[in-house]
Structure 1
Amino acid sequence: MARRRSPRARLCPLCGLPMRRNGYTKAGRQRWRCDACSASGVATRPDATRLAEFRAWLSWVLGRTDVLQAARAIGVATRQGFAKRTSWCWRVRPRLPKPGKAHCVEVDGTYLNGWCLLVAVDAEDGRPLAFQWCDTEKKAAWLALFRRIPRPDVVVCDGGAGCLAAIGRAWPGMRVQRCLVHVLRNTRRDLTSRPRTEPGKALYKLARRLVNVKRCGTPEQAGQWLADLQEWYEENKEWLDERTAARDPDTGFRRTWYTHQRARDAYHRLARLNAAGMLFTWLDPELDAGGPVAWNTNMLEGGTNKPVKDAMRRHSGLSPEHARRICEWLLYMRTRDPEPERFATPEHWQGKTRKQQADSTLALPGLDRRSVQQADPDDPAVDPYESGFGIRHGWAGQSH
């Protein structure tokens, strides 16, 4: 039978004198007793206890275990007891590691309970590079996100005006690939999935070919697609220019409009994207030499946005601060070699740190005070939060 290892001598917490061993508890833990003041007890390891609580809390936050299962892991039987024991865990805030240069970066925003989370991931493996909280996908928020990312070779996005403006400001001359899945969705919104007219059916069929890699996945096939689009326009130019006229019965004024306005919008969108060089950037041989270029944002949509939205559905009813903390942990755990325990320090379970107590209200240079929240004084380039929580109402209006 293995001999029990003798524990180190302990000092009495009351009088400071050495304590002697005094048997074991029913749980097998060493009991200590002070002969001077008769104090008795067992030696505790608050760091090990707190880390166990943090692991149980993180397992519940990430959706791996039920709250009661996580509570039983730390010896608690009720939800209320688990919430009380792990209340300090909400103060632990993860930080994404400093990103390196990525060949292709996918960026997108997802809306969560009235707020927007902007995320940038490496298109090669889907690892998050940076994120930014904001109210809408505006230029200032995108600029705050791009400042934390080294300039890539190409960016894949959904083509939002704020995103494109920020790309041109942060990285002049950047090559952009428009997400072709979003292009097809926009075309479907204009033409519907079952167009009634023959030109509409032909144009929708052309748009569907964009997302078919087997039919439009080489430079030669892309050239043929552009030729087919131009041929469609030549055949239906007069049809697109048809106008409808009517007289207003109240004012008597005669007004006209394009009869097939939605078809015009769908065609001109494709033509503008091609003229801007955003349709077939992913087939550029020069860019492909540095690595594959994505033609959609599926790596981000399915790998990051979906788990975040699923977590918000599982943990509905949380305060804004707790809700965004869950989103941040989900992003951090998708980075390479995450080590969540290193963020849990004695400062967190003993009380709030000075950094967390001080709410910085300074704005980034050149931005409005209410636009993008300033970072911590020690690291002004990585704080992911955007101010404005205090001026909202409802779920997103609770102050933090």
Structure 2
Amino acid sequence: MLSEKSTATVRATLPAVGAAIGDITELFYRKLFEAHPELLRDLFNRGNQAAGLQKQALAGSIAAFATHLVEHPDTRPDVMLGRIAHKHASLGVTREQYPVVHRYLFAAIAEVLGDAVTPEVAEAWDEVYWLMANALVAIEERLYAGHRIAAGDVWREWTVTARIEETADCATFQLVPADGGPAPAHLPGQYVSVQVTLADGARQIRQYSLSTAPGSAVRAITVKRVHGGPTPDGEVSHHLHAHVRAGDTLRVSAPYGDLVLHDAAAPVLLASAGIGCTPMVAMLEHLAETGHTAPVTVVHADRSPADHALRADHRRLTGKLADAAAHFWYEDGAEESEGDRTGLVDLTALPEPAPGTRAYLCGPLPFMRAVREQLLARGVPAADIHYEVFGPDLWLATA
């Protein structure tokens, strides 16, 4: 809870800080990486930095957290904090890194806002920062403890047992722990981080959803190659596609992620687009393995059937459920004989969601916004609509 004195100061200065937050975060990252270039090389996603996406996500989260403290002083935005903490845990972030961020973030605030940063303003926003940072540290350390590992010690060598070409641009890598030990437990829908060493020596990290259910004998990730070759926005996917084969090893984190099935008995709607199908297929496999009997609606959008990774698994697993139907929309090449549709996802073409339906979304932000709006219009409560974004979560930043 923000102190009464700081609440008044933050409320008064929030418009000015909010207006400048983009400049503040841009300067923050520049100062941080100038002092600690190893963080850009080995921890932060260079593609997101180059595109400005991480700056947008950081700005959105700070503004949203401060606004919540002022408008809802008796609660915390735990959904937002949990999502950030899961991502941090998958990267091995520890409490010792938060003072480093604080130093360069507040240096950027002072430089951008100048004389407006009085001691009182600095003290109030310092309180905001440490409320957010300490909340994240507490969640992250609980996540580490859940896997019975030391804080930050998330990495383990895994062996690639098979590589399956799903489409021209998607490959599945089946994995087992290289030390022969058991795979860490995960929940359907979670992801792992994969760290690879690139040609320039950088050890870049990306997150990939596990596309197999917890009960599977092996773990698997399905990776879509980002076009443009080994550029910052696609350098890890390009490396995996170009260099990793059966018998190779990968450095993989413990599994994390907050997009998981919440109620095993509830009706479910799984909506995805593109490579966003990967956590949905894992959820489908789990539902099939556990004998789920409530209605399940599967919705997917893609460019064409040929571009739809795991299409056969999508249909096969849907068919194993007692009360389920799959509905696929494609920009072109829809196979009408199989019930595919051409165009954008239109939920009005489907039966009304069953009472109590829980919806899970994964894909590009415009797709998820459109599906969420349709679900709300059809009576699905906002609290029952859950989502996952590949990359920085810009939902708040663009709201």
Given the two structures, how large is their TM-score scaled by the length of structure 1? Answer: 0.23
Structure index of larger Rg? 1
Bigger proportion of residues as strand: 2
How high is the TM-score relative to the length of structure 2?
0.23
